[in-house]
């Protein structure tokens, strides 16, 4: 068992790096700088070259090639932030050795339990060593497992110079969980012909078809009047916002979709009589359907303004990223290398669509081993992390051989 990998992961999850959709800065929360600075210093201690943390907390570094062969420069990427959906402060992880397949009690005092009936994926990890939470925060395997796997793989390559590899670039970014991780990622500076993100879930999975993505902010303007004199005068923004949310397609939401199916996801809602705000993300693998989804939202806003008066409902709509399949269709070697690397590490490779996104360069997504992201029932198998780390090493070796 690679104790370096586990220790590294446990150190990273001690940093609270929760991002925020309510912030316009990058990173969206200042606390993400703490992990970025730690990673910068760690990479410097490990002797990597071109180590840099920029003003937006993006961290870059280089492991030089150890061969004179003309090998393509490839990269590995992971994100530092954790989801706004659940607290990432004061994470208290616990290791369950040789998991027995039963329900996992996270906090016996408050009866917080991860039930196998609700999370049957636990059965796939019987006999393994699981890292779980105490039931009061998320764990942060999304995506600190990916960071730990990349850094540990780099150390492994340094310790095994007999494994030939080309120039390897490393990139760690903030704000992925709010759809902004790719916005200021310097693809030109990264200087790779292609890269891989270590941000997937179950062991053995490879993803290279991702969502087209947009973010939407719906603002409702109301008119507050003393409730005793409000007849025909008050416009309650909070009620209109609730009505708006109810009239959105109710079956096209994350909890009712899977695979290639797109969705509208209400990620936040705040409001008073005077003003209310709804935050949505829009996702679809199909670009044409994606454009139709955005039009649904625009038509909703127009309809509500006809109902309640022009200017009552305002919409800010912006694209975030697009399906990377178009970038990979004429570069099969990128996914072929990943498939071979995963098969060698895991004994199989399962290709599935990403219900998420990626960076602005050819960049398939490889499993990092965590499951049940963004909530208190998140866990990661140490053995899965080890296989992900070995997959990275395999990719570097296979790329050099090709």
Closest CA to 362 of 391, 334, 397, 341: 334
d(CA 360, CA 188): 10
d(CA 284, CA 398): 33
The distance of Cα 196 from the centroid of its chain, to the nearest Å, equals 13
Right CATH for 212-321 from 3.40.50.280, 3.30.420.40, 3.30.70.360, 2.40.50.140: 3.30.70.360
Instruction: Read off the pLDDT of each residue in 215-239 and give the average, rounded to a whole number.
Output: 94
d(CA 79, CA 77): 7
CB contact burial 165-195 (16+ within 10 A = b; e otherwise): bbbbbbbbbbbbbbbbbbebbeeeebebebb
Instruction: Read off the pLDDT of each residue in 350-375 and give the average, rounded to a whole number.
Output: 81
Choosing from 42, 81, 207, 252, the catalytic residue is: 81
Query: Would you call 176 a catalytic residue per the annotation?
Result: yes
Instruction: Read off the pLDDT of each residue in 131-135 and give the average, rounded to a whole number.
Output: 97
Per-residue pLDDT at 57 = 97
Per-residue pLDDT at 29 = 97
Choosing from 142, 175, 176, 284, the catalytic residue is: 176
Q: Which CATH class is domain 3-210+323-401?
A: alpha beta
Instruction: Read off the pLDDT of each residue in 55-80 and give the average, rounded to a whole number.
Output: 97
The domain locations on the chain are 3-210+323-401, 212-321
- Asked if residue 36 has pLDDT above 60, the reply is yes
d(CA 218, CA 197): 32
Structure-token pair, residue 118: 């609700």
Instruction: Decide if 3-210+323-401 and 212-321 have a common fold.
Output: no
Query: Would you call 81 a catalytic residue per the annotation?
Result: yes
Structure-token pair, residue 24: 């316009």
Q: In 3-state terms, what secondary structure has residue 37?
A: helix
Instruction: Read off the pLDDT of each residue in 337-342 and give the average, rounded to a whole number.
Output: 97
């Amino acid at each position: 068992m690679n104790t370096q990998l586990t220790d590294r992961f446990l150190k990273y999850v001690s940093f609270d790096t929760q991002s925020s959709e309510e912030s316009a800065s990058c990173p969206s929360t200042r606390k993400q700088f703490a992990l970025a600075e730690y990673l910068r210093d760690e990479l410097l201690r490990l002797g990597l070259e071109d180590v840099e943390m920029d003003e937006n907390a993006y961290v870059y570094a280089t492991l030089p090639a150890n061969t004179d062969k003309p090998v393509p420069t490839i990269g590995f990427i992971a994100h530092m932030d954790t989801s706004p959906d659940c607290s990432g402060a004061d994470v208290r992880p616990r290791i369950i050795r040789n998991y027995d397949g039963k329900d996992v009690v996270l906090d016996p005092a408050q009866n917080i339990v991860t039930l196998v009936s609700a999370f049957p994926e636990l059965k796939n990890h019987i006999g393994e060593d699981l890292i779980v939470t105490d039931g009061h925060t998320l764990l942060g395997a999304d995506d600190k497992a990916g960071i730990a796997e990349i850094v540990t793989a780099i150390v492994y390559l340094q310790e095994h110079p007999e494994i030939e590899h080309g120039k390897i670039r490393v990139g760690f970014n903030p704000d992925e969980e709010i759809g902004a991780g790719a916005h200021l990622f310097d693809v030109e500076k990264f200087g790779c012909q292609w890269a891989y993100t270590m941000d997937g879930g179950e062991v053995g999975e490879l993803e290279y078809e991702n969502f087209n993505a947009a973010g939407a902010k719906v603002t409702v303007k109301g008119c507050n009047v003393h409730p005793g004199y409000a007849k025909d005068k008050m416009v309650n923004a909070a009620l209109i916002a609730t009505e708006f949310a109810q009239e959105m397609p109710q079956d096209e939401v994350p909890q009712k979709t899977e695979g290639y199916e797109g969705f509208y996801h209400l990620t936040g809602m705040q409001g008073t009589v005077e003003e209310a705000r709804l935050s949505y993300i829009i996702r679809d693998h199909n670009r044409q359907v994606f454009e139709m989804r955005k039009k649904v939202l625009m038509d909703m806003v127009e309809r509500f303004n006809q109902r309640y008066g022009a200017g009552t409902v305002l919409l800010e709509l912006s694209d975030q990223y697009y399906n990377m399949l178009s970038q990979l269709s004429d570069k099969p070697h990128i996914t072929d290398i990943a498939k071979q690397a995963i098969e060698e590490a895991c004994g199989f490779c399962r290709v599935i669509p990403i219900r998420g996104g990626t960076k602005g360069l050819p960049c398939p997504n490889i499993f990092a081993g965590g499951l049940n992201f963004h909530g208190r029932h998140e866990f990661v198998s140490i053995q899965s992390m080890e296989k992900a780390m070995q997959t990275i090493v395999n990719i570097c070796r296979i790329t050099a051989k090709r």
